[in-house]
Amino acid sequence: MQFKSTRSDKVPVSFKDAVLHCLPKNGGLYVPFSMPDMRQFFLHMDADTSYSELVSAVAPVLLHGELNPFSALRVAESAFDFEPELHYINEHISLLNLYQGHTGTFKDFGMAFLAAVMEELLKTSGQVIALSATRGETGMSIARAFHSRRNIINVMLYPEGPIYGLDPKDFVPNGGTIIPIQVKGTFDDCQRLVLETLQDRPFAERHSLTTANTINVGRLLPQSFYYLYAFTKIKKQLKGDLVFSVPCGNCGNLIAGLYAWRFGLPVNSFIAAMNQNNTFGDFINGKSFSTRAPIATVSPALDVTVPSNYERLEAFYTEAPAVMRNMVFPITIDDPTTLATIEQVWKEHGIMLDPHTALAFAAALAFARTHDSAHSIVLSTGHPARTAGIVHRAIGIQPELPVDLAWLQTTTKPIASIAPSLDSLEAALISCF
Ligand SMILES: *Cc1c(COP(=O)(O)O)cnc(C)c1O
């Protein structure tokens, strides 16, 4: 499988190039160039297939010529010491729990694969610096996934404020592989600096720069694997249509689901579940895309009005607008409904949901009112303890923090603090190496 830019399909590149030089020369973002039909490789799998078995069977076919079956097995086994878990509730609805990774969100799945596959791709040549904008648990997710991976240094840009979840033992001066740098500015400044540095081609090439942010298609592609996995677990019980309900922020999960569909996943619809920040739904409904300032809600990871994967989705829609319109259903859920759903699911099923999952759950219930033969798999994207305050507000009980997540409460100091400008960052990078 090769990759092309969302803005030009003239020169497809290899997976290795897309992962290690993650911005296309002509701008845009990398997306798959052609999507192989993978049905023969996963349709025979059943509920006994483990996640790393599925990944090590599917990845070498997708990345044919770049990742042989032995390398794929090494990648899958070293990446995944955690698995998704399908929780069947009744004939209409299931939860796909994706929060068993080290930082309690689905993002650990993409990050773990990216780190392991990068190490594998670099086995024969070179060293890279992954420059990423981080806040909250993203930094911890990177630190855990890239922990002691050879030939990769992670430079993480943090906005002003405390830095959580890192162990100074992992810092480069102490023999580790990470360099946290604080930027005197906002998270948006950090994201802008990552882009500007990668766009400074001579500098990026001289220092072999890439990123662990979702601009990197190497983080997005593996998210399609858990959709295939969910299907292998549910297929025996499935009678009617299969629907995935996906909470949408930057839309990485949604686009990965659409890739899974193109790989042959027998799915009928996707619900793009959104909070009040639903400008993106207008676009799906065929209206022009207009941006607004984001509003704060009880599902903060979805408070995004310009999804970073917008160009990737647009590319998908441009190819087949009618198919997409019949396949992806945007549903908006307000805060009171999200909170009421946390309470309802707790009372009816004894399951604690985080607000992002509850929102997707509510959207699936709304969808079911007009599609009563469908089975919805709700992506459970976050551990409820990450948003303990909101869960407590809904049900009066404080979810317990697992040991790994307790790390998120420790604070550390950055190695350097810089002005929010390209010059300052490049000077800091040069002085680090
Ligand atoms: C990041 C995140 C989301 C949003 O996912 P996107 O791929 O950005 O759409 C949803 N839920 C949780 C818990 C998250 O951390």
Q: What is the dihedral of CA 229, 232, 234, 236, to 10 degrees?
A: 180
Residues 236, 298: one domain?
A: yes
- Look at residue 299 and tell me if it is in a domain: yes
CA angle 202–206–209, rounded 5-degree value: 95
Q: Based on the domain organization, do 289 and 423 belong to the same domain? A: no
Q: Which protein residue's CA is at the shortest distance from atom 1 of ligand 1?
A: 301
CATH number at residue 149: 3.40.50.1100
- Please say whether the beta carbons of 215 and 308 come within 8 A: yes
In this structure, is residue 68 part of a structural domain? no
Q: Which of 355, 345, 361 is nearest to 297 (CA)?
A: 355
Q: Which atom of ligand 1 is nearest to the CA of 223?
A: 7
- How much distance in Å is there from the Cα of 338 to the middle of ligand 1? 15
Protein residue whose Cα sits closest to atom 3 of ligand 1: 301
Phi and psi at residue 125, in whole multiples of 5°? -155, 130
- Residues 200 and 295 placed together within one structural domain of the fold: no
How confident is the model at residue 290, as a pLDDT? 78
Domain around 155: 127-207+407-433
- Ligand 1 centroid–CA 381 distance in Å is 6
**Which parts of the chain register pLDDT below 50?**
none
Q: Is the CB of 353 under 6 A from ligand 1?
A: no
In a domain, 16, yes or no: no
Q: Which of 98, 99, 105 to mutate to test the pocket of ligand 1 (most atoms within 8 A of CB)?
A: 105
Report whether residue 356 contacts ligand 1, using a CB cutoff of 6 Å.
Answer: yes
Q: How far apart are CA 302 and CA 286, in angstroms?
A: 21
Question: Ligand 1: which residue has its CA nearest to atom 14?
Answer: 301
Residues 226 and 249 in one domain: yes
Q: Is 253 close to ligand 1, i.e. is its CB under 6 Å away?
A: yes
CA pair distance 131, 426, nearest whole angstrom: 11
In a shared domain, residues 167 and 251: no
41, part of any domain:
no
Assess whether 163 and 260 both reside in one domain.
no
- 62 in a structural domain: no
> Could you tell me if 227 and 356 lie in one domain?
yes
- Supply the pLDDT for residue 281: 86
Residue 77 placed within a domain: no
Ligand 1 mutation target, pool 221, 275, 381, most atoms within 8 A of CB: 381
* Ligand 1 center from residue 248 Cα (angstroms): 6
Ligand 1 centroid distance, CA of 383 (Å): 12
- Both tokens of 423, joined, read 């010059």
337, 414: one domain: no
CB–CB of 263/228 below 8 Å?
yes
Please tell me if the CB atom of residue 219 comes closer than 6 angstroms to any atom of ligand 1: no
How many angstroms is it from 306 CA to the middle of ligand 1?
14
Q: Is residue 34 part of a domain?
A: no
Q: Are residues 432 and 359 in the same domain?
A: no
357 ligand 1 Cβ < 6 A? no
The pTM of this model reads 0.96
Q: Is the CB of 105 under 6 A from ligand 1?
A: yes
- Closest ligand 1 atom to residue 253 Cα is 7
- Same domain for 400 and 411: no
**300 and 166 co-located in one domain:** no
> How many structural domains is the chain composed of?
2
Q: What is the reported pLDDT for 282?
A: 84
Cα(331) to ligand 1 centroid in Å equals: 16
**Is 4 domain-assigned?**
no
Mutate to test the pocket of ligand 1, among 221, 248, 333 (most ligand atoms within 8 A of CB): 248
Q: Is the CB of 248 under 6 A from ligand 1?
A: yes
Write out the DSSP string of 319-358.
H-HHHHHTTEEEEE--HHHHHHHHHHHHHHH-----HHHH
Q: Helix 187-199 to helix 422-432 angle, to the nearest 10 degrees?
A: 70
Is residue 245 located within the same domain as residue 329?
yes
